[in-house]
Structure formats: C-alpha cells, structure tokens
A = this chain, B = another copy of it.
C-alpha cells in the first residue's frame, strides 16, 4: 500500500483522473483507492449551506436531534429513507442505496467554510470515469475504488468501505469451495473491495491531504471489464435484518 502524495487541491471540474495518473502512476494490476471527498469535490458536489432552504420535516428532525436544519434538509434530499433517527444520529439509506450516517453529507475536508460535501451521485460511474481518464492519459487500466469512512453497528470507530468501483472483483465468491479437509467453507463471500478500501485507509493521513492510495498485489482481482461496481455489495433490503 502506498499513499499518493502531491495531489493538487481539487476543485469542481478538475480532471481528477489525469491528476491521479500523474501523482500515482498506477499500473495495470494496481488498485487505486480514492477518497469519496475528493471525487465529490471534482464533481461539484459541494453545497454552500447558505443556499439550502430547510423544509418542515428537516426543521422538525433538526430540532429533535440538535442538528443544523440545512444539513438535515440535504440528508433528506440525499435519502430514500431514514433507517434510524435516535440520540442525535441520523442513519439513512441514500438514493444510491448505501446505509450510513447523515446520508454521507459531511463538512470535514471541504475547503469552503459553511459548506458540506454530498456523496457522488453515482460513485460506480465516478470510478469508471476515473479509470477511463487514467487510461487515456497513462495507458494503464488500474482498478479504481471510491472509498468512504462509515461507522458500523455494534462496533466503535469508522472503517473505510467501497462505495464506487471499476475493474475489481468486489465480492470473491467462495460458495461451494472447500477447505483443506474438503468441508464447505462458511465464509462464503469475501468483501474484497471493502477490505482494499480499509487497507488503503491505513496509509492515508486524514489531516495531511492524502486523498488516494495504491494497493498492489491484488492483480488476481483486477479485471479488464469495469464490472458491476460497488452496488453489487449492497444487501437487498428484503434480505437485510437491520433496516
């Protein structure tokens, strides 16, 4: 794992793929993990709070949970539904299908004061676009993962997971495979893309402006096709016990 240093400040409309190719020099079998925040900035998904007019439901929820009603308004716009609203925490299912705190609406590492970043509208499309841009500039096709830090039920702290992906096997399916003694394995699907995101986070310093990392040695999971993306990790709601 290598942190990608020397990335210039990213603004809306930035050619992020070319910037990443220049800074990281990714090879064909590499996995380039890019933080959601920098992707959102490049895609203009930063909203000044002064431009947000909270509606009634946002005002109500904000008052109940001691939150900024403009932030809550954005959370509601970014969500299909609120999974939990308790003790000052809003857990939402985003329009893109991710279950996370505040629908990913987040103020940290946004240069403008009084502005927040939203998740990319379609982070799988973002990953595919970055991969194509890198290929156009550098001639290589690394896998690209867009990663965000999510909290977890039952466990404290945050771990990075994949919310966008191109060119990586996101779930390595072990169903039907056996252990050395011929017994079927109960670990049925390994969350490769999430684990790559978590690994990359170990080398990124959140306050040092290191928004990307290269993970090498996962060539066996890197594919020529962009594949189904990170949405393939989403557990369908009818199979889910916790929403």
Tallying the copies of this chain within the complex gives 2
Contact B108 A191 (CB under 8 A): no
**A 185-219 contacts with B by CB, 8 A:** 185-192, 194-196, 198-199, 201-203, 206-209, 215, 217-218
- Let me know if A179 is at the binding interface, CB within 8 A: yes
Contact B157 A179 (CB under 8 A): no
The residues of B that contact A57 with a CB separation of less than 8 Å are none
Contact B108 A184 (CB under 8 A): yes
Contact B198 A185 (CB under 8 A): no
The residues of B that contact A158 with a CB separation of less than 8 Å are 187-191
Nearest residue (CB) in B for A171 is B157
Chain A interface, number of residues (Cβ within 8 angstroms): 69
Q: A157 is contacted by which of B91, B110, B194, B208 (Cβ under 8 Å)?
A: B194
Q: How many Å from the CB of A176 to the closest CB on chain B?
A: 12
Contact B202 A110 (CB under 8 A): no
Nearest residue (CB) in B for A218 is B202
The residues of B that contact A243 with a CB separation of less than 8 Å are 153-154
Q: A235 is contacted by which of B109, B156, B178, B180 (Cβ under 8 Å)?
A: B156
- Let me know if A77 is at the binding interface, CB within 8 A: no
Contact B199 A195 (CB under 8 A): yes
Q: A183 is contacted by which of B1, B108, B201 (Cβ under 8 Å)?
A: B108
Q: Which 5 A-B pairs have the closest CB atoms?
A: A157-B191, A199-B199, A153-B242, A198-B198, A99-B154
A-B contact pairs, 5 of them (CB 8 A): A89-B241, A156-B171, A157-B192, A174-B207, A202-B218
